[in-house]
Amino acid sequence: MLEPTSPWMTIFTAPKSFEDEHIRMIQRNAIFSWLNLGNEVEIILIGDDAGVAEAATEFGLKHLPDVEKNTKGTPLVSSIFKLARMNSTSPILVYFNADIVALPDLLTTTRKVMQKFEKFLIVGQRWDIDIREIIPSGDHLESWLQQQIKERGVLHPQGGSDYFIYPRVCFSEMPKFAIGRAGWDNWMIFQARNEKLALVDGTGAINIIHQQHDYRHLPNGQPHYRTPETYENVRLAGGKRTIFDLKDTNWQMKGEILQRKSLSWKRFWREVEIFPLITLKSMWLAQAAYGVFHPIKAYREFRAWLRQKNAVKVE
């Protein structure tokens, strides 16, 4: 039995450069909130961007600078996850985007899922809030954050996820995705279903805050889903059929209750659609099923593929 103060959870992240004033503030806010979870949680900062080492030293955190990168200099998700696993011993690993503020319900909800499943992935929606100040510390933090959610929080749509909670035995292998670009978070959701893990939507129990920011840190200030690295992430994931989202979770937390999601007609047909991919492991049949369920979108994809193929021939 673990001692109450022993770290049984490791939160790891790959921060952006701390040079931008607003990015520096929101990343420090995120770290403040993780430290506020107490001694049960270990925190690891990964990467060598400006200010990361200094932040790790200031807060007394473990720092792992030697992360593998792609040709554009972007850290690889596979390397980040591997470094976290190799340099921690806690049974639970948690990846957070570096702008995410967490509350103690992260711990209580994870414990409940651990009591039922040995292998799982917890994901969920976030509350979007524009925070322009250093968050309070100590005993006032949780109530202050809850008040911010109540007064200003906007629940983000059910796309990808800004956090991933899983036992260390899971996700030991993954493609070389670029961090901070779209696609890889959707692959995590797909892979959980593909490997028959319990895929839990924690939105009803875990409150996380995404501190709003712009995209000045990305090439030409473009949102991450429009970058070439995002297209490469989707390719590495296996194509668009592996782009799952939170609607593909099969368990959910509602307050303190963990339950299987009810099978509405919409969910039933979605399960039929993805059956060839996650059960039969057939991409060809998955493409055919997509064509049946989404004929117009499938036709547009086919036309785009033909244009790209013809363009390559011309070159």
User: Which DSSP state fits 162?
Assistant: S
Task: Determine the Cα–Cα distance for residues 286 and 296; give it in Å rounded to an integer.
Answer: 16
pLDDT tens track for 210-264 = 998 756 545 555 555 568 999 999 999 999 999 999 999 999 999 889 999 999 9
Task: Determine the Cα–Cα distance for residues 175 and 50; give it in Å rounded to an integer.
Answer: 26
Please indicate whether residue 4 or residue 83 has the higher confidence score (pLDDT). 83
At 42, is the secondary structure helix, strand, or coil?
A: strand
In contact, 167 and 133? CB cutoff 8 Å: no
Q: In the predicted model, is pLDDT for residue 305 greater than 80?
A: no
**Strand-pair category, 92-96 with 9-13:** parallel
- % of the chain exceeding 90 in pLDDT: 84
Q: Assign 306 a pLDDT band (cuts: 50, 70, 90).
A: confident
pLDDT tens track for 146-172 = 999 999 999 999 988 999 999 999 999
Q: Structure tokens of 116?
A: 């039922």
Task: Determine the Cα–Cα distance for residues 107 and 297; give it in Å rounded to an integer.
Answer: 41
Task: Determine the Cα–Cα distance for residues 31 and 75; give it in Å rounded to an integer.
Answer: 20
46-60, 84-98, 172-186, 223-237: least confidently modelled range: 223-237
From the number of C-beta atoms within 10 Å of its C-beta (0-12, 13-18, 19+), residue 218 rates as: middle
Q: Assign 1 a pLDDT band (cuts: 50, 70, 90).
A: very low
Q: What is the dihedral of CA 247, 251, 254, 258, to 10 degrees?
A: -170
Residue 120 to residues 176, 191, 207, Cα–Cα distance (Å): 22, 11, 19
Number of H helices, E strands in the chain: 10, 13
pLDDT tens track for 175-216 = 999 999 999 999 999 999 999 999 999 999 999 999 987 565
Q: Specify the pLDDT at position 159.
A: 86
Q: In the predicted model, is pLDDT for residue 70 greater than 90?
A: yes
Residue 265 to residues 39, 162, 271, 272, Cα–Cα distance (Å): 45, 28, 10, 11
Q: Assign 34 a pLDDT band (cuts: 50, 70, 90).
A: very high
Beta strands in the chain (DSSP E): 9-13, 41-46, 62-64, 92-96, 100-102, 120-123, 127-129, 154-155, 163-167, 198-204, 208-211, 251-254, 257-260
User: Could you give the domains of the chain?
Assistant: 9-254 (3.90.550.10), 263-314 (no CATH)
The pLDDT mean for the chain works out to 92
Q: Specify the pLDDT at position 3.
A: 46
